[in-house]
Amino acid sequence: MMLQPRVSKPPIIGLIILLSSFAFAQSSAVTAIKCGRLINPADGSVTQNVIIIVRGDRIEQVGTSVSIPAGARVVDLSAYTVLPGLIDCHTHVLLQPEDERGAPPVVTKSQAFRTVQGVAAAKRDLEAGFTTMRDLDSEGAGFADVAIRDGINRGIIPGPRLLVSTYALTITGGHMNNAGLNPDIPVPEPATLTDSRDAMIAEIRREVKYGADWIKLYATGTLRHVDPVTLESLSQVSLEDVKAVVAEAARWRRDVAAHAYGGDGAKNAIRGGVRSIEHGMLMDDEALKLLVDHGTFWCPTLSVYLPESPEDDTELRRRIVARHKEVFQKAMKMGVKICFGTDVGAFEHGTSSREFVRMVEYGMKPIDAIRSATIRGAELLRMEKQIGSIQTGKLADIIAVEGDPLSDIKAITKVTFVMKSGKVYKESR
Ligand SMILES: [Zn+2]
């Protein structure tokens, strides 16, 4: 059937004008935030009685002698410490702690159910102060991370700004393979098995096509692949493999994050040009030096390796945790670019800030721990012009905590206010 030619345009134009003026009103809403103390991670300064003016999704002014525009909504945080929104560079919204026990979720749960859980997880992480997260592997939940990211960006559900990696690249028998199942029953794997360079390249193209922002590569195996005597990890990639992966990702303007415990896998990943090494607790001095020389970021994810149950509390685990601490302390001394990353999902969403406490226990200064989750995270994500500090022109990602995290880092776990892109998501004062 032919549509009737439209004879009267004005009502539609009128509607467009009405909608765009509504959008303008929304984007130009002004909020004035009165801060008791404001921490600036860029220079480590703490300023009392600062006022932040937020217009739309951006920070318009920051200072002690800023006047509040007429009609602005005033948020009084004068009893709190205000910080930039936090950035967790290693998360799994589609993973829940229960998935770490028993059969993997790719076997026991539908992708739809995992997505429902992921929606709730994203909200909890945002309310804990994390306004941006790099989500590293859906662990077999397909492209549900893309859906959650897009749902958040479109304002359908609350959550951090997500950068997602969809499936991770692994090898047959390596990390993120189902183990202990009947080989004659076809079961989806939690990661994509890419046993040749061609397969790796094809998988990157598929992931980018369906929405990946980052490429995740398993450059070594996991705990079950670690030699219990030498603590050598299983290398899953050659230098040439990594170079091919990084080059293909770069074609699509994507970066690569490599899960690597240590050994040749970690060194190949660094030399091959990945942007960040994840975990890295078994790296030797040569690997740490390579991190410094190549300017590669390191997300240590310290807390997730602590035994959470008596069964986990093995001698091997205790040795690995001790090595992790040693490597972290050496890396700090050597000037490695340490970035805040937690592996949240393997433990309760909304509790990622426990990692700050661990970092400080291991000898990092509280301001450096805060930097790792703000300006340094922004740099790793190549978003330093948008996020990571409270500065004029940046996105208004602002949180407030009870107490002073510079004198007691645990204060950062007590988040009372969360604003992301100028919108308030938590106000529990
Ligand atoms: Zn992880």
Q: Looking at the DSSP assignment, which residues form a beta bridge with residue 76?
A: 34
Distance of CA 91 from the midpoint of ligand 1 (Å): 6
Kind and range of the H or E element at 405? none
User: DSSP class of residue 64?
Assistant: S
Share of the chain above pLDDT 90, in %: 87
Distance of CA 304 from the midpoint of ligand 1 (Å): 9
Distance of CA 74 from the midpoint of ligand 1 (Å): 39
Least confident of 4-8, 46-50, 280-284: 4-8
Least confident of 41-45, 177-181, 197-201, 279-283: 177-181
The CA–CA distances, whole Å, from 54 to 25, 92, 325, 419 equal 14, 30, 40, 10
What is the average pLDDT across 286-290? 98
Kind and range of the H or E element at 132? strand 130-135
Cα 92 to chain centroid distance, Å, stands at: 8
Name which of 302, 337, 351 is nearest 130 in CA terms: 351
What is the average pLDDT across 116-139? 97
What is the average pLDDT across 158-175? 97
Distance of CA 144 from the midpoint of ligand 1 (Å): 16
Cβ atoms 165, 123 nearer than 8 A: no
Distance of CA 347 from the midpoint of ligand 1 (Å): 11
Distance of CA 236 from the midpoint of ligand 1 (Å): 16
pLDDT of residue 39: 98
Distance of CA 88 from the midpoint of ligand 1 (Å): 11
Q: Indicate whether 257 pLDDT > 90.
A: yes
Give the model's confidence band at 3: pLDDT under 50 very low, under 70 low, under 90 confident, else very high.
Answer: very low
Distance of CA 302 from the midpoint of ligand 1 (Å): 12
Q: Indicate whether 309 pLDDT > 90.
A: no
Distance of CA 343 from the midpoint of ligand 1 (Å): 5
Distance of CA 274 from the midpoint of ligand 1 (Å): 16
Give the model's confidence band at 7: pLDDT under 50 very low, under 70 low, under 90 confident, else very high.
Answer: very low
Supply angle C-alpha 336, 339, 345, rounded to 5: 140
pLDDT of residue 238: 98
Distance of CA 277 from the midpoint of ligand 1 (Å): 11
pLDDT of residue 2: 41
Distance of CA 1 from the midpoint of ligand 1 (Å): 54
Q: Which residues are found with C-beta within 5 Å of the ion, ligand 1?
A: 343
Kind and range of the H or E element at 313? none
Q: Where are the beta strands (DSSP E) in 160-306?
A: 161-164, 168-170, 192-193, 214-218, 255-262, 276-282, 297-299
Least confident of 31-45, 304-318, 394-408: 304-318
Distance of CA 90 from the midpoint of ligand 1 (Å): 6
Give the model's confidence band at 91: pLDDT under 50 very low, under 70 low, under 90 confident, else very high.
Answer: very high
| Residues in the chain, overall count | 429
pLDDT of residue 59: 98
Give the model's confidence band at 428: pLDDT under 50 very low, under 70 low, under 90 confident, else very high.
Answer: confident
User: DSSP class of residue 23?
Assistant: H
Q: Indicate whether 131 pLDDT > 70.
A: yes
The pLDDT tens digits of the residues spanning 201-231 come to 999 999 999 999 999 999 999 988 999 889 9
Distance of CA 139 from the midpoint of ligand 1 (Å): 9
pLDDT of residue 27: 57
pLDDT of residue 14: 44
Amino acid at 272: G
Distance of CA 384 from the midpoint of ligand 1 (Å): 23
- Specify the long-range contacts of residues 116-121, CB closer than 8 Å, at least 24 apart: 118/93, 118/94, 118/144, 118/145, 118/148, 119/148, 119/151, 119/157, 119/159, 120/349, 121/93, 121/94, 121/96, 121/345, 121/349, 121/350
Distance of CA 104 from the midpoint of ligand 1 (Å): 14
- In the block, tokens 């000037």 appear at 335
Distance of CA 346 from the midpoint of ligand 1 (Å): 8
Name which of 378, 365, 300 is nearest 336 in CA terms: 300
Token duo for residue 315:
């001698």
Give the model's confidence band at 308: pLDDT under 50 very low, under 70 low, under 90 confident, else very high.
Answer: confident
Distance of CA 306 from the midpoint of ligand 1 (Å): 14
Distance of CA 89 from the midpoint of ligand 1 (Å): 10
